[in-house]
Chain A
């Protein structure tokens, strides 16, 4: 099987997988905030009593605020998935170099970087919501920047470079098309 055929057939599966994520991601956030009071901190607990994810039981109002806050990074994530899905829709048609591809790569890189920034904001908001039930003086706001964020930023940077490489590829492809 030549490379283009491989790209076409594998892209079909990736397109379906990304469509699945597109539906599952919002459902995950709805489920997470709807059942936040019943969710354990870790899913598998052996010989230990599971500790709840939220130290205090959250009111419906806080759950709703939490869900609305989660929509901010979720929108960036959905935008990332939508653009990657669009990229694979081109690949499954056998189109691998075009100006649209370059634009999509740049959009994905920007969205990934935005997602990191918005996730930091979301995690900080979560710390406030989780400690809202604590007595005054024990409420906290934590702003974190961990390996996951650094990795995503790194991926975003790499995607940006890939976008430039794709642009060079597009120029070469156009030149090749106009070589008789």
Chain B
């Protein structure tokens, strides 16, 4: 899929650990890992909203479209 998830990059910039973010947004670490590794088939707007709120970023910082 040409949609790239840059969550690990944003997490590194904010110096935040995945476990911490998972707790803050109320999802399991396993689900966050699915998102980080690009295995996710869909992302809920509520999850995206919570991630953007806690990482103080825009959805475009997390999701990127790259042509193959």
Q: Which residue numbers of A lie inside 8 Å of B, CB to CB?
A: 175, 178-180
Contact = CB atoms under 8 A, between A and B. Distances in A.
A41 B7 CA distance: 76
A56 B15 CA distance: 91
Contact of A178 (B27, B32, B40): B40
A151 B27 CA distance: 49
Interface of B: 27, 31-32, 34-35, 39-44, 47
6 contacts: A178-B34, A178-B42, A180-B32, A180-B34, A180-B42, A180-B43
Residue with the highest number of chain B CB atoms closer than 10 Å, among A175, A178, A179, A180: A180
A3 to B, nearest CB: 22
A131 to B, nearest CB: 64
Contacts of B42: 175, 178-180
B19 to A, nearest CB: 15
A178 B31 CA distance: 8
A178 B30 CA distance: 10
A143 to B, nearest CB: 53
A179 B44 contact: yes
